[in-house]
Each structure stands twice: as structure tokens, then as C-alpha cells.
Amino acid sequence: MKTLLRCVGVEKAFGDRAILRGCDLTVHPGQKLGLVGANGCGKSTLLAVLGGRAEADLGEVRVQGRLGWLGQVPELTGETVGEAVAEGLSWHTELRERWEAAIDAEDLETSGELQELLDRFGWDLSHELEAVCDRVGCPPAEARLERLSGGEERRVALARALLGRPEILLLDEPTNHLDADAIEWLQGWLASYEGALVLVTHDRYLLEAVADRIVEIEMGACVGYEGSYADYLLTRAERQASLQKGEDRRLDQIAREAEWASRSPAARTTKQKARLERLDALRAKGPLIGRGASFSLDLRSGAKLGSTVVELHDLAIGFGGRQLFEGLNLSVSPGERLGILGPNGSGKSTLLRIIAGQIQQDAGEVVLGNRVKLAVLDQERSGLPTDVTVWEAAGGGNDHVFIGGRAIHVASFLGRFLFTRQHYDQSVDALSGGERARLLLARLLLQGANLLILDEPTNDLDLQTLRVLEEALLGFDGAALIVTHDRALLDRVSTSVLAFEGDRVQRYADRQQHLKAIAQRAKDAARPRKKVAQDKPKPAARKLSYKEKQQLEALPKQIEQAEQGLQDLEAALAAPGLYRDRPDQVAVLTGQHTDLQKQIEVLYSRWTELESRA
């Protein structure tokens, strides 16, 4: 099988901290590889090395094919959004130029081969460019790059990467800063993508739907697991159990050898030198599995709350002449974990900032319970100083911290969150995104809050830390307001959801109920309304003829079939591969969709008329 990308013996260290210690990895055509591991283990570092964005200290990387890249820090060129995104189609521009040059040179063989490629990909990809930008939520094409937010820059960089159609696509946390609809679309696009994919993501639904192989970075090396994310979880558990048995045997052997070596000197004859050498070898081997690879998080404060934690009365706010929401009423009680979802820019983060007292609403009132103590984790991770060491950030300059009134040494406290002695003097600036998030969770624990305000808390978290956070939220004795696009977190943790839906904010029992409501409203909107009877008197309607009675009986079935056809067309138009693989069909399907809508309207009109005379 052809190999598109291969790395052998890749090593990378930052200062005296070794991250990658001999990574071997192979990617074949069409393979969808999920790259997982603990925060700080080197996932983003390895991806950067594979993509040529970072240089390995040792080892070799071989690439056969065009690479596409999305890093956590966007790298955009040009002055406007349109210029930056259009760079993703440079391969298509080059393809057309090569075809034109072959035509001019009358090279029929080359021009024929290039024409076949253009027929396959499409001669005009402007429709695809517009569709991808719209789906991921890019700003307008004329928007200046220097005025974009970090989230907008990420979406522009994602659109450019997808439009590039490389043989190998490297994506580092592509769902960060995407709303739920965009994530659903991206999941379908990646699942149908014909090229190879190396994906770092904390989105478990995305990983399960897309990846056909999981590679975990464990103790600096790559360990591969065939199958989906669910297959990986099962196989990994079995592997860890087997390794633990081997480690237990090794430790038992060391204990036996050490016990012999500790006997009187008379027992240590020259004949026993081999046993002493074996003991040294056993000690030097190091553990077969990583130590301290798990931690727990208990956010319970024990503080009693009244019957209501937060109440909102007729809350309203707008920015730049645009009303985000108004007349918002909400009550949150102890034990509730309210998931907040909606499109980017709809007002979710603004609502949290109002409740936290960081900004002032235009109208309405926020009432917090008398015993409420807030803790905030925002998208910018602003609760974490960056010009200090990890030790200073954790302890505030002290050697001890207090949890539940009990003093704990900072070293022990950091150890609970998987920070080793190597991290103590490291600057917070040098931490990975996931390590920074883990340090923020540690500081969150120290606050003893009974109301948590969390804005996209899962961004940059590894899968293990995500599960720890979920367990902590499930056991939390206060209330939590959680803005997140993480579908798995919402489904598992939230007791209800608050959905921002354009001009309305609606509360639902869960995310599934919200999705059903959206689907029903879309169906109702697609169905033409029956005409309301006019007040003016009408002449007496004539009775139905035999032929009209037959037509009336057949109309419901015809309408049902037409509506099903409309749904099929909408699904076809929404398919991620349409604009890429069959761009010539876009106009045809759009025309069929318009014609079928008109046909359904005629059928409903005729049905209403005949039914009124029956």
C-alpha cells in the first residue's frame, strides 16, 4: 500500500523537558487517523512536525503528496477574508493554468489528463468556496483580517484548509469556535473526504464518526489502535490491564532480587555478579505504563444555597444597533446544570458576562442568591496570569493552598493535576493549551464556588481531562451555567438547555428536544400555509364531481410523496461532497428543488379547494 506520510524516530524536547521520544507513524491514502493523548503529551507538537511547521530534534519525516494544515494559531495571508480563503483554491488555479499551457503547446496527452482532473473536480469552484465559508461561519469576504477575532480567524483558516483538497489534511482542534450546526456539517464533510486525515480533537462524537484508526501518544511514543474511538477505548483498557500485569511481575522480581542483595556480604560472592547486574537492568528499565496518568476533580463546596441561585427578569442587551436578546426570563435552582447553545454571536457569552457582573445589561434585572459565590472560566482563559511560573500561578506565591479549610502543599496540589517537578519553574506562557486549561481547573477548585460559569470549558482539553470534568460537574453540589458546543458534554451533563434561536431564547429539557423542535419548525416553514378564508361572501360552492372526489382522495398521498422528494433534494444539496465532486449538479438540483416547492404549493391549494367543497 502506498504511504503518503511517514515519520520515524521523531524526538522533540523543549528545554530539559522531552515531549516526543521516538515517534513512529505511517499514514496511507484515505486513512482517517485520530491523534489522542494527555494534555502536554505532544499531539500539537507532532502535528506541527508532520506539517513542516516545527523541526524535530531527531528522526525523519517523509511526505508524498500535498499537505493541508490547520494549527491552533491561524496563519493567514492577504488583507481580507476573501483573499485568505481564496488561497485554499490556489491548487485549482494552478491546475487550470497547466491545462491552458498544455493546450497552447498542443500537448494533447497532458491536456487530456489535466482536463479529466478538471472535469472531476469542477471547472468553477466559486460555489464551493461560498458554501464552505457559509457553513463554517466565515465573516464577509470584504472583512479586513486585522479586525477579526481569534475565533473568526480560526474559521477562515479552517475554510481555507478544507478548500485545499490536499492528499493529507492535518487538523488541530478544528471544532474550536464552531457552533453546533457547523460542527455537524464538518463531521459529514470529513467522513466523506477522500483524502487522508490526521485529526486532533476533543470532540468525541466527531472522533467516533470520522476516525478509522486511533494513535495515542504515550510516554513520548505513538501507540496505534485499529478501529473507531469506541474500539480504541476497549482495546486500550485491555492493553493497559496486560501491561499492568507485566509491571507487577517486574516489580515483584525487583523486590526478590533486592531482598537477596540486602543479605550479608558473605552471600555476595563473585558467582552472584550476574544477579546483581540483572537487578540493575530491572531498575533501569523504567515502568511499562505511565505513572500518575489520571486525576480526579471534586468541585463541591459544601456551601448551602437558597431555593434560587440565579433569576433573570426581562433581561435585554444589544450591540452596535443589533439586539442580541430581550425580555429574557430565567430561573436556575441548586443542582441544575444549564447547557447554553446557539450560533456564534447570538449572545451566549454576553449572557454569562452579564450574570458574572462583568458588563451591564440594557434593561432588566439579575438577581443572585444571598449565598452565591461565583467562579468563572471564560473563553480567553483570562483567570490565569501568564508572566509567572506554574508554581506561582497555583499557589499565588505561597507554599500551601487551602481546600475545604485544609492546608495542602503546592507540590502535592499540582501533582493532583498531573503537573510534575519539571513544570514547577516553567512559565505559564510555555504551557500547551490543554495544560493551561488544567491549571485553570486547579485554580477553580481553590475558589470553593457554588455557582460555576463556564464558557467553552472543553476547548483544548484532552479526552481524559474532559471525562474528569464531566464527573466533577455531575457530582457538583451547586449550580452551573455552561456555554459549549461539545455535544457529548451537553448530552451527559446538562439537566436542561437554553437555546439561542435567532430572535428567541427557548429552554428545553435536553439537546434532543431542541433538535426535534428545530426539525419541526423547519418542516412547518417548508409547508405552504392554507389560505385564510376571506370575509366577503362567496357564492355557493358546487358539489364535487366523481373525478374530483377521486382527485381529493389521491392528493394526500401525492403531497406526502412530493414532500419526501423535497426532503431528499434538501439532503442532496446539503451533502458535503456535492460541491466538490459534482458541482455541475448544483444548479440542476436547485432548480428541481424550486420546481417541487411550487408543485407542493399547487397541490395544497387544490386540496384546500376540493376539501372545502366536499
Query: How far is Cα 472 from Cα 438, in angstroms, rounded to an integer?
Result: 13
Q: In 3-state terms, what secondary structure has residue 310? A: strand
Higher pLDDT, 16 or 423: 423
515 to each of 341, 479, 521, how far by Cα in Å?
Answer: 11, 24, 10
Looking at residue 458, what is its pLDDT? Answer: 87
Each residue of 323-377: pLDDT tens digit?
999 999 999 999 999 999 998 888 999 999 999 999 999 999 999 988 899 989 8
Please tell me the predicted confidence (pLDDT) of residue 459. 83
Say what the pLDDT of residue 370 is.
87
Does residue 120 register a pLDDT over 50?
yes
pLDDT digits 0-9 by tens, 224-274: 999 999 899 888 888 878 877 877 777 777 777 676 666 655 455 555 666
pLDDT at residue 190 tops 90: yes
* Statement: residue 32 has pLDDT above 80: yes
Residue 584 has pLDDT above 90, yes or no: no
Is residue 342 within 8 A of residue 512, CB to CB? The reply is no
Please name each of the domains of the chain with its CATH number. Answer: 80-163 (no CATH), 233-284 (no CATH), 310-518 (3.40.50.300), 542-613 (1.10.287.380)
C-alpha neighbours within 13 Å on the C-beta side of residue 402: 4
pLDDT of 291 above 50: no
What is the overall mean pLDDT for the chain?
A: 85
Reading the block at residue 253, the C-alpha cell is 522480581
* Mean pLDDT (whole number) for 170-192: 92
For residues 531 and 156, the model is more confident at: 156
Q: Side-chain half-sphere of 289: how many Cα atoms within 13 Å?
A: 19
Residue-level pLDDT at 529: 56
Query: Sorting pLDDT into bands at 50, 70 and 90, what band is 78?
Result: very high
Mean pLDDT of all residues in 136-159: 94
Q: Please list, in sequence order, all residues whose beta carbon lies within 8 angstroms of the beta carbon of residue 374, skipping any fewer than 6 positions away.
A: 356, 368, 449, 451, 453
Residue 116 backbone dihedrals phi, psi, to 5 degrees = -60, -40
Q: What is the pLDDT of residue 16?
A: 79
| Residues 305-335 pLDDT 10s | 778 899 999 999 998 788 999 999 999 999 9
* pLDDT of amino acid 292: 40
82 pLDDT more than 90? yes
* Residue 359 DSSP one-character state: S
Per-residue pLDDT at 432 exceeds 90: no
One-letter amino acid identity for 242?
Answer: S
Which range (144-158, 239-253, 567-581) has the least confidence? 567-581
Tell me the percentage of the chain whose pLDDT exceeds 70: 87
pLDDT at 152: 93
Residue 388 near residue 426 (C-beta atoms within 8 A) = no
Residue 287's pLDDT is 58
Lowest mean pLDDT among 55-59, 71-75, 245-249, 498-502: 245-249
pLDDT for res 551: 82
Is 100's pLDDT higher than 90?
Answer: yes
At 313 the pLDDT is 96
Farthest-apart Cα atoms in the chain, separation: 124
Mean pLDDT of 76-85: 95
pLDDT value at 554 more than 70: yes
Cell 447553545 maps to which residue?
A: 341
Highest mean pLDDT among 45-54, 316-325, 587-596: 45-54
Q: Of the given ranges (13-17, 140-144, 349-353, 482-486), which has the lowest mean pLDDT?
A: 13-17
Residue in this structure with the C-alpha cell 460537574, named with its chain if needed: 473
Residue 58's contacts (CB-CB under 8 Å, 6 or more residues apart) are 9, 10, 11
| Placement of cell 480533537 in the chain | 201
> Rounded to whole angstroms, how far apart are CA atoms 158 and 147?
18
From the centroid of its chain, how far is CA 536? 58
| Total Cβ atoms within 10 A of residue 295 | 16
Residue predicted with more confidence, 589 or 30: 30
Checking if the pLDDT of 429 tops 80, the result is yes
* Residue 560 pLDDT greater than 90, yes or no: no
